[in-house]
Amino acid sequence: MAEQRILGAVLAGGRSSRFGSDKALAPMPDGRTLLDHAIAGLTPHVAQVVICGRNGGLTDRPAPDMGPLGGLNAALHHAHDHGFTGVLTTGCDMPLYPADLPAALIGADAAILKGQQLLGWWPVSLAAELDAHLAEANNRSIYGWLDRIGARVVEMPGLVLPNINRPEDLAGL
């Protein structure tokens, strides 16, 4: 089997309302930002990393402020247009990315880590389906999208990942 060419996408278009400021740019104790850590976590597993939903990155598709699905859709179309097999995603508020996660996620179908819907694998073949989903009258919930495509849920017992939503979450690391 030919080696897959994988795109990494950091979903970073949220409003950070619970955080109170742009959490993607919040510094970790080592001085690097949450966004820097998310990029570093994906980089060893992919051919290229893109940032979705921020100035200088991929614009949410089909329109700005679409939430994580707008960023995922932008990444899927970028992957399709540039010869990638699929997309590994993480959120900008996920400073840790387990080294063994890609092997557990990547397969013929979409997959997410249980309890962490932004840590996922999305085959490029889903681009048109996500276009259709976002064009319909729905709440654009990632849960609705996961149900629609029947995404596989991967469990990694014992794995606890920090998710930074508030300043105290970051302070607790």
Task: Look at residue 17 in the predicted model and tell me its pLDDT.
Answer: 58
Task: Look at residue 20 in the predicted model and tell me its pLDDT.
Answer: 58
What domain range includes position 95? 6-171
> How many separate domains does the chain show?
1
> Is residue 73 a part of any domain in this protein?
yes
- 117, 75 contact by CB (below 8 A): no
The CATH number for 124's domain is: 3.90.550.10
> Is residue 146 a part of any domain in this protein?
yes
The Cα–Cα gap between 107 and 109 comes to 5
The Cα–Cα gap between 98 and 78 comes to 25
Residue list for the binding site for GTP: 11-13, 23, 65, 93
- Give strand pairing partners of 52: 11, 58
Cα 152 → chain centroid:
16
CA distances from 5 to 1, 46, 73, 122 (A): 12, 7, 18, 13
Mean pLDDT, 10 residues at a time, the chain of 173 residues: 83 68 77 91 96 90 88 97 97 90 96 94 97 84 93 92 72 67
Task: Look at residue 81 in the predicted model and tell me its pLDDT.
Answer: 97
> Is residue 1 a part of any domain in this protein?
no
> Is residue 42 a part of any domain in this protein?
yes
Choose among 116, 119, 147, 133: nearest CA to 42.
Answer: 119
Residue list for the binding site for Mg(2+): 93
Task: Look at residue 101 in the predicted model and tell me its pLDDT.
Answer: 96
| pTM score | 0.90
Task: Look at residue 1 in the predicted model and tell me its pLDDT.
Answer: 40
Residue list for the binding site: 11-13, 23, 65, 93
Q: Give phi and psi for 97, each to the nearest 5.
A: -130, 110
> Is residue 129 a part of any domain in this protein?
yes
